[in-house]
Amino acid sequence: MKLSAEAQNVLDTAMRINNTDAKERAEIEQLIGDMPDDRVLLYKNVVSNPIGDLPRYSIHIRIQHMLTFVTFLTLAFTGLPIAFMDAVWAQPLNNLVGGIDISRVIHRTLASVMIFSMLYHVWYLMWITVSDISKGRFLIQRSIIPTLKDAVDFKLDMLYFIGKRDQRPEMDKFMYKQKLHYFAAAFGNLVMILSGSSFIFPEFWAAVLPEGSASYFQEMMRLSHPHEALLALLVIAFWHWYNVHLAPGRFPMQWTFLTGKITREHQIEEHFLEYIRNLVELPEEREYLSDLLDARELSPAADDDTLKTAEEPA
Amino acid sequence: MKHILFIASLLTLLFSNPAQAFEDDSGCLLCHKYPKMGRITEKGTKRIYQVMPGVFGSTVHRNVPCTDCHNYIKQLPHREVTEGVRCDSECHSIKNPATGKNFTHKPIYNKFKESVHGREKIETGLDADKPYCVTCHTNPIYNPAEDKLPENIVDRCVVCHEDRDFVVNWYKHTSRRIREVKRSPSEIVELCSNCHSDKALVERHVEAAKKEGRELGRKYPIAVESYDESFHGKVTRYGFTKAANCLDCHAKKKNYYMNVHDIRPSRDPESPVNPKNKVETCRNCHIYADEGYAQLDPHPTSSKEGNAFRYYANIIYGWVGDIVIVLLVGMALLETIGRRRDGVGWILRKGSSWWRKSKRNRDRIQ
């Protein structure tokens, strides 16, 4: 496979950062040269362990995700029956969580756990970023920070979905969908904290805001808290859970949030640039891929034949 | 003689019931004990005049003789009753134990008369919509606390107050006033809502005020629905007792039990929700409340007329939510269609999810 300029750049950077020696460089370049030109054939032919093959999330990120989602769901179940009190399900659900006297205590306690989880996350990100920068390993493309490339990737991916392209774009560790979701969740989290704080400390907000604006602020917060909660719950239920549980290739679930590992086929399909880095960082992955290319005769020469045979019936 | 005494005491045992023991000195029960005592009024209302001694004997007025309240009855058989019992009459038989004077509800009655709810016993027109004493004070006949008196408490009291009957009556008197006469916050909201959520009633008063050029509270037409929408309203309706109910803001906190009878409109400088008194009223619970805080709306509404800002913000929020969900679900569908066209399946088996035939002429090598 001849790497695109972008992928080549990722490869060169990864080899430089990892101080890859000349022997390994030659090995990696040889291996990449042997990869089929059609990236799709690569992820279609690999063997993946359902619980994950390649490292993706550290234990900290997994703990933060766990804290956030457990608190988020419980917060939703204790909060929504109050906001939507006149709905048929509200009273039974409120009784189920112990009635108003219990649920409000649960809600406030878990809200502080959720805030802790957010602070833990921000602290961890800062720590890991500073540490990476000091080691010269920080790469903005590999981080969650959105770049122009994400907009281009989005467009190319949509073209692939509607059948106008035959390849998905080469995406990095975090693709456009994940960045969108991450920042939506971060924004939502802040909105919930801000609006929640305006319910628990209304006097504080009235005191710090200029007179005349406090009531408008409070009205906005009163609307924001349930609207944002409901939106978040719907996005989680209909989009996030679909993406990680129900989508083909992910069903019945991606184990990443527990094991921290991503399946090989998923990595190559949606995070190809990260896979290139995996090849540099993980000698065992090189070995695996090399064996696979041989066993399945996927290298370009063989690949041509495969394509021809595939084309014949058409 | 012994036999007569024995029969008399047996009869007493058979027919006496402590609950029935109320004074009927004037012999009212001669007629009023009959279940058929009643009539249909000119308006077609069925009135029942039967008095059940067992029932009346367990009400708070059980010790008041009939003629103390029905003081317009001067002869038997009596004339047609026009006004009926007024709650400001004076008992001649019951003394106020604190002052030694005749017992009367007059002070609180007069307070009520000055309030926005004040009315006469018989009213026509709009004032008939206002509550009279009995609208709220229903003289409940059953008090579960009286059913089973706590033995340990009564036993303790009789150590000094030797008369057990006195202690029992005293306990019933106080227990009823501590719990039953005081409504819970959600019961208060329910009580006020009985009239204030009556659309026809509210409409009548709004129309009349408009016609007469009178001012009405800004929230008067939506008082109940907007409170129910508020955070105070929701948690109170769920049975939480520490959030503000109607009376916490609309009655002065000082001398509360008197002042709940003295509800005044917000334009009245005496009203705790008058703009001048708002901060102080908020501070009853929110001790750090200031001018800005007092502007927060305890009766929020999303109606266009009530609060245009909130109305449009709500609509925009709704649209943003709907659009986000539709776009995301649309994207997920598109993604599924696109990837399935290329051969992905639902289950990862033998290390791959790509077992289906691709429409793009490239399949997993079997």
Chain A CB within 8 Å of residue B166 CB = no
- Look at residue B181 in the predicted model and tell me its pLDDT: 62
CB contact under 8 A, B237 and A220: no
Amino acid making up residue B287: I
Q: Which of B310, B340, B343 sits opposite A44 (nearest CB)?
A: B343
CB contact under 8 A, A219 and B237: no
- Look at residue B41 in the predicted model and tell me its pLDDT: 86
Residue of A84, A153, A161, A197 best to disrupt the B interface, most CBs of B under 10 A: A161
Query: Quick one: three-class SS letters along B246-277?
Result: HHHHHCCCCCHHHHCCCCCCCCCCCCCCCCCC
Amino acid making up residue B113: K
| Residue range A127-141, pLDDT digits in tens | 999 999 999 999 999
Chain A CB within 8 Å of residue B350 CB = yes
What residues in B contact A235, CB-CB < 8 Å?
A: 324-325, 328
Average pLDDT score over residue span B21-28: 76
| Residue range A23-62, pLDDT digits in tens | 999 999 999 999 999 999 999 999 999 999 999 999 999 9
- Look at residue A312 in the predicted model and tell me its pLDDT: 43
What residues in A contact B360, CB-CB < 8 Å?
A: 40, 166
For residue A212, the distance in angstroms to the closest alpha carbon of chain B comes to 7
Rounded Cα gap, residues B99 and B342, in angstroms: 95
| Residue range A54-109, pLDDT digits in tens | 999 999 999 999 999 999 999 999 999 999 999 999 999 999 999 999 999 999 99
Rounded Cα gap, residues B135 and B269, in angstroms: 27
Residue of B317, B323, B341, B349 best to disrupt the A interface, most CBs of A under 10 A: B317
User: Between residues B84 and A313, which one has the greater pLDDT?
Assistant: B84
CB contact under 8 A, A101 and B239: yes
| Residue range B104-156, pLDDT digits in tens | 999 999 999 999 999 999 998 899 999 999 998 877 666 666 777 888 989 99
Mapped onto helix, strand or coil, the DSSP state of residue A262 is: strand
Rounded Cα gap, residues A226 and B317, in angstroms: 10
CB contact under 8 A, A249 and B297: no
CB contact under 8 A, A223 and B310: yes
Rounded Cα gap, residues A262 and A112, in angstroms: 31
Query: Counting Cβ atoms within 10 Å, is residue A107 exposed (0-12), middle (13-18) or buried (19+)?
Result: buried
Residue of chain A minimizing CA distance to B329: A239
Segment (H or E) for B343 = none
Computed on alpha carbons and rounded to an integer, the radius of gyration of chain B in Å comes to 33
* A64, B97, B142 from B56: Cα distances, Å: 66, 23, 10
CB contact under 8 A, A243 and B332: yes
Rounded Cα gap, residues A271 and A38, in angstroms: 15
Average pLDDT score over residue span B164-190: 83
- Look at residue B194 in the predicted model and tell me its pLDDT: 95
CB contact under 8 A, B346 and A248: yes
What residues in A contact B292, CB-CB < 8 Å?
A: 206-207, 209-212, 214-215
Interface of B with A in 182-241 (CB under 8 A): 231, 234-235, 237-240
List of residues 6+ apart from B340 with CB closer than 8 A: A248, B356
Segment (H or E) for A124 = helix A99-134
Share of chain B above pLDDT 70, in %: 91
Find out whether B286 and A202 touch, Cβ atoms under 8 Å.
Answer: yes
Size of interface A-B (CB pairs under 8 A): 175
| Residue range B266-323, pLDDT digits in tens | 999 999 999 999 999 999 999 999 999 999 999 999 888 888 999 999 999 999 999 9
CB contact under 8 A, A238 and B325: yes
Residue A308 has pLDDT above 70, yes or no: no
Token pair for residue B177? 């006033």
Tokens 């919930």 -> residue: A192
CB contact under 8 A, B296 and A207: no
What residues in B contact A163, CB-CB < 8 Å?
A: 338, 341
CB contact under 8 A, A298 and B336: no
| Residue range B64-109, pLDDT digits in tens | 888 888 989 888 888 888 888 989 988 888 888 889 999 999 999 9
Chain A CB within 8 Å of residue B324 CB = yes
Q: Residue B347 — very low, low, confident or very high, per pLDDT cuts 50/70/90?
A: confident
Count how many residues are written for chain B. Answer: 366
Residue A151 has pLDDT above 90, yes or no: yes
For residue A129, the distance in angstroms to the closest alpha carbon of chain B comes to 30
Q: Is the dihedral of CA B166, B171, B172, B176 positive or negative?
A: positive
The angle, 0 to 180 degrees and rounded to 10, between the axes of the packed helices A59-83 and A176-200 is 50
CB contact under 8 A, A215 and B286: no
For residue B54, the distance in angstroms to the closest alpha carbon of chain A comes to 39
Average pLDDT score over residue span A152-156: 97
DSSP B278: H
CB contact under 8 A, B293 and A207: yes
CB contact under 8 A, B288 and A207: yes
Give the closest residue to A181 by CA, choosing from B73, B324, B54: B324
DSSP B222: G
Amino acid making up residue A295: A
- Look at residue B150 in the predicted model and tell me its pLDDT: 85
Tokens 């003629």 -> residue: B67
Residue B197 has pLDDT above 90, yes or no: yes
Half-sphere exposure of A183 (CA within 13 A, CB side): 10
Going through B174-217 in order, the beta strands assigned E by DSSP cover none
Q: Which of A157, A231, A239 sits opposite B329 (nearest CB)?
A: A239
Going through chain B in order, the beta strands assigned E by DSSP cover 38-40, 46-48, 90-95, 102-104
Token pair for residue A57? 């999330």
CB contact under 8 A, A100 and B317: no
Q: Which of B296, B331, B363 sits opposite A215 (nearest CB)?
A: B296
